[in-house]
Amino acid sequence: MVAITRVRLTPVNTPRHGSITCGHVLVELLTDTDGLIGVGEMSDFQHLPRYHLDVPDLEGTLNELLVGLDPLQITEVERRLEQNFPQAGYIYDKSRTIKCGVDIAMWDLAAKHLGVRVVDLLGGAVRDSVPIAYPVFRQQRDSDVERNLAMVARRAAEGFDHFRVYVGRRLDLDERFLRQVRDRHGDAITIKSLDFSNLLDPRAACRFVDRVADVGFDLVESPAPHHDLKGLAHARDRLPVPVSEHVYGFRWALDLATADAVDVFNVSVIAIGGITPARRIFAIAEAAGKSCLVGTTQEMSIGTAAAAHVAMAMPSVTLPSDPVGPLLYTRDVVREPVTYVGGRLRVPTGPGLGMTLDPERVAASAGPLTWASTSATDVVDRAPAGPTDAPSADLAAVAR
């Protein structure tokens, strides 16, 4: 019998191009079998509230919870994690990040133990890739419009033809960007969504959607404040395009389904706390007749690989999805990062997640989690931390 012998956590910090530095924690589940190690990622801690974990203390806690378990005891691991880090009903709750990193590592370990890919352990691939909607970051100043237009042109040349546009801070600039990007690219690109990120009340969001409806977009995301079921339902009844919302808890998924408040579930592996709980959300969505897309907080390659395996295995994922984190960061921690071909994310090959840590790259990014160089304002809209006029710099995406 194989058993987990140690949980090792390594905090790392990865800068986004022209933007903030994001903290993550790598998870390694060591076993009593040589070379059998599960890897996971607690992704992108740079969300409000503005505090970080005590990583050594967390490592001790996880060793207490997990050492001695079999790699296939995924359900038991989830039970222990939920007992000690319960769902808080908030999309940026730190507990869901902790659980996600451990759960991903368990799926990686179990699949490696059986000599299969995670997607195969999930029931097998129903597709070989998923289209990705590249993020267009929120306009906050006049210079952002031209910068984002240049970014769209650059990514379109690389094969990305779906984009999601974050709106809601400067609606005048948002409208200017939307009209100019359509003028420049016509029908060569698709605007998958306007994402309000819960910033506006539903009536204000609907008024803006009406104002720019002629630009053309496939859906509207989060057009009401957090937990505002009535607001989401109002927007869904009012708008001519589907409405989507992030799902970050079992109760929230049931509430959305019961109220019939949205058309699309945005299911992020990190927002729900891992692959195991994400499967339940997909089941709720299917039972409620809701389409799904795979969301993101912009993970590194390990977290993105987990999202890829989930996206390939779940039949209800019928819409372009969001994970592009490895393209936003200046460095990664694995030997072979995930790949995008023609604007589509492909599932990695090899057993488990198909990811192997690169010791040199890990060492280059390793260091304590810190908020020293990141302000709360920067985090809210993923604004650049310094001068932003270089046309080649991608701003980092607003938190999911």
Sheet holding 344-346, edge to edge: 129-131, 344-346, 340-341
Catalogue the active-site residues. Answer: 92, 166
Which contiguous run of DSSP H or E holds residue 283? helix 275-288
Q: Does residue 309 sit in the same domain as residue 161?
A: yes
Q: Does residue 142 sit in the same domain as residue 288?
A: yes
Instruction: Count the domains in the chain.
Output: 2
Q: Does residue 148 sit in the same domain as residue 229?
A: yes
CA gap 104, 341 in Å, rounded = 24
Q: What is the pLDDT along the chain (400 residues), one digit of tens a residue?
A: 899 999 999 999 999 988 889 999 999 999 999 999 999 999 999 988 899 999 999 999 999 999 999 999 999 999 999 999 999 888 888 999 999 999 999 999 999 999 999 999 999 999 999 999 999 989 989 999 999 999 999 999 999 999 999 999 999 999 999 999 999 999 999 999 999 999 999 999 999 999 999 999 999 999 999 999 999 999 999 999 999 999 999 999 999 999 999 999 999 999 999 999 999 999 999 999 999 999 999 999 999 999 999 999 999 999 999 999 999 999 999 999 999 999 999 999 999 999 999 999 999 999 999 998 788 877 877 655 444 333 333 333 333 3
CATH, residue 212:
3.20.20.120
Residue that the structure tokens 């708008």 belong to: 239
Q: Which two tokens stand for residue 49?
A: 């509230």
Q: Tell me, what DSSP letter sits at residue 214? A: G
CATH, residue 85:
3.30.390.10
Q: Does residue 72 sit in the same domain as residue 175?
A: no
Q: Which two tokens stand for residue 328?
A: 């936003």
Q: Does residue 106 sit in the same domain as residue 191?
A: no
Q: Does residue 98 sit in the same domain as residue 153?
A: no
Q: Is residue 370 part of a domain?
A: no
CA gap 133, 138 in Å, rounded = 15
Q: Is residue 213 part of a domain?
A: yes
Domain that holds residue 182: 120-360
Give the distance, in angstroms, between the CA of residue 236 and the centroid of all CA atoms in the same chain: 24
Domain boundary among 58, 80, 115: 115
Q: Does residue 58 sit in the same domain as residue 128?
A: no
Cis ω for the linkage preceding 49 (within 30 of 0) = yes
CA gap 18, 396 in Å, rounded = 8
Q: Does residue 109 sit in the same domain as residue 124?
A: no
Domain boundary among 93, 115, 137: 115
Q: Is residue 388 part of a domain?
A: no
pLDDT of amino acid 190: 98
Q: Does residue 74 sit in the same domain as residue 139?
A: no
CA gap 18, 212 in Å, rounded = 29
Domain boundary among 96, 115, 134: 115
pLDDT of amino acid 175: 98
The 3-class SS string of 316-375 reads CECCCECCCHHHHECCCCECCCCCEECCEEECCCCCECCCCECHHHHHHHECCCCCCCCC
Q: Do 189 and 152 contact (CB within 8 A), yes or no?
A: yes
pLDDT of amino acid 35: 94
Q: Does residue 78 sit in the same domain as residue 182?
A: no
Q: Does residue 62 sit in the same domain as residue 15?
A: yes
Q: Is residue 185 part of a domain?
A: yes
Q: Does residue 182 sit in the same domain as residue 82?
A: no
Q: Is residue 196 part of a domain?
A: yes
Q: Is residue 10 part of a domain?
A: yes
65-69 CB contacts, 8 Å cutoff, 24+ apart: 66/4, 66/7, 66/29, 66/102, 67/3, 67/4, 67/5, 67/6, 67/7, 68/3, 68/4, 69/3, 69/4
pLDDT of amino acid 384: 52
Q: Is residue 59 part of a domain?
A: yes
Q: Is residue 391 part of a domain?
A: no
Q: Tell me, what DSSP letter sits at residue 186? A: G
